[in-house]
Amino acid sequence: MTQTGSRPTRAAIVDRIVDHAADTRSLFLSLPDNAKLRFVPGQFISIAIKLPDETRTRPYTIASPSAEMPFEICFNRVPGGRGAEWLFERKLGDMIEFTGPYGTFTMDSTPEAETIFLVEETAIAPVRPMIHRAMGAVHAAMMLLHAASSQQHLIYRAEFESFAARDRNFRFEPMVLQPSDIYPRLLAEAERRWVTGDSDRSRQFYLCGVGKGVIALRDLLRGAGYERRSVHYEQW
Amino acid sequence: MAKLRVIFENGDPERIIEFDPAKAPFHHDGRPGSILDILLGHKIHLEHACGGNCACTTCHIIVKQGGKTLSEATEQEEDMLDKAPGLTPSSRLGCQAVVEDPDAEITVVIPRYTINLANESAEE
């Protein structure tokens, strides 16, 4: 725990820039003296967005596996999103100030119950380190349903396909859909597979995305009898 | 006019804000008219690491008076509060608790500590 208002600000340097699509980018950030950033898979850092008229605080999820440095944040442009625009303007060698990591949408240990990840677009970012962590140990069955608006937006696809090819206990289903179809399809899939599909309610779910669709998924699963604490979610 | 009294558990001097809830938003983070929005709009710092999106507990506040003049907590806020240290029956997230009564008289305490699961120190 930390005293309110006294969190140390850290500096990171933009070490590498990777564009996944025209509107989706990863920044790889290094810390001074080759330091590592310790975090729990699923957490985010809080970046000081230094605009001409003010400084805003905006969260960006750590997308890289925990041991990896420089660490990666992944984000996309959003209408009116000054934070993402500011990040898109950063260049190699620029300094970024942040605090954290923060957040409780996390996976603290390798899953012992069947685990389903339902995510859209860049909301894959918090889930990626969770899956990496689980793949490093004996784990319960895991399934990732990643819905996106184009093949380009199915970021990390090759990596997840590689995991699925070598580990029969991990299934990966990418889906390309019209943006307006993403949540209706995720809801339909969840209902068909894990609500009406069987009576097993021992699974856990990790849901992540933007807007009310995440809440609709949460309500569907909790309403179907899954334990409240087995339905983890993060809505942006 | 509504009145918001802010007590800081860390010993900072208490503040009293008078405001018109109908004039929300006062800032751009948290729900319009929320305690976070009001505080930031009156240049009073309240942590909000997630940008006021109900994705962390750094804006945890304890409502000492006037809780019934605030919006009801949603399931999402309750889920998040479950993870806040020092949770009390009158705990709220500052980014979510919206002042709904134009004549509200509210007292909130800003706790000394907020949660952070991972050690914030960079490892060598």
In this prediction the ipTM stands at 0.83
For the ranges B8-17, B51-60, B92-101, the one whose mean pLDDT is highest: B92-101
Q: Check whether residue A98 and residue A168 sit in a common domain.
A: no
User: CB A102 to CB B56 under 8 A?
Assistant: yes
Q: How confident is the model at residue B86 (pLDDT cuts 50, 70, 90)?
A: confident
From the list B53, B76, B114, the residue facing A2 with the nearest CB is B114
Residues of chain A with pLDDT under 70: 1-6
List of chain A residues whose C-beta atoms are within 8 Å of the C-beta of residue B122: 10, 31, 35-38
Chain B nearest C-alpha distance from A99 (Å): 8
How would you classify the pairing of strands A142-148 and A170-176? Answer: parallel
* pLDDT of B117: 43
Does residue A79 belong to any structural domain of this protein?
yes
The set of residues, in sequence order, having a beta carbon less than 8 Å from that of B68 and lying 6+ positions away, is none
- pLDDT of B122 > 60? The answer is no
List of chain B residues whose C-beta atoms are within 8 Å of the C-beta of residue A43: 117-118
Give the closest residue to B97 by CA, choosing from B24, B44, B43, B42: B24
Residues B79-89, mean pLDDT to the nearest whole number? 90
Does residue A5 belong to any structural domain of this protein?
no
Q: Check whether residue A123 and residue A223 sit in a common domain.
A: yes
State the average pLDDT for chain B.
90
CB A176 within 8 A of CB A149: yes
* pLDDT of A33: 86
- pLDDT of B114 > 70? The answer is no
| Residue in chain B lying closest to A33 (CA) | B124
CATH topology of domain B2-110: Ubiquitin-like (UB roll) (3.10.20)
Number of domains in chain A: 2
* pLDDT of B119: 40
d(CA A119, CA A142) in angstroms, rounded, equals 14
* pLDDT of B104: 97
What is the domain extent for residue A73? 10-102
Q: Check whether residue A132 and residue A220 sit in a common domain.
A: yes
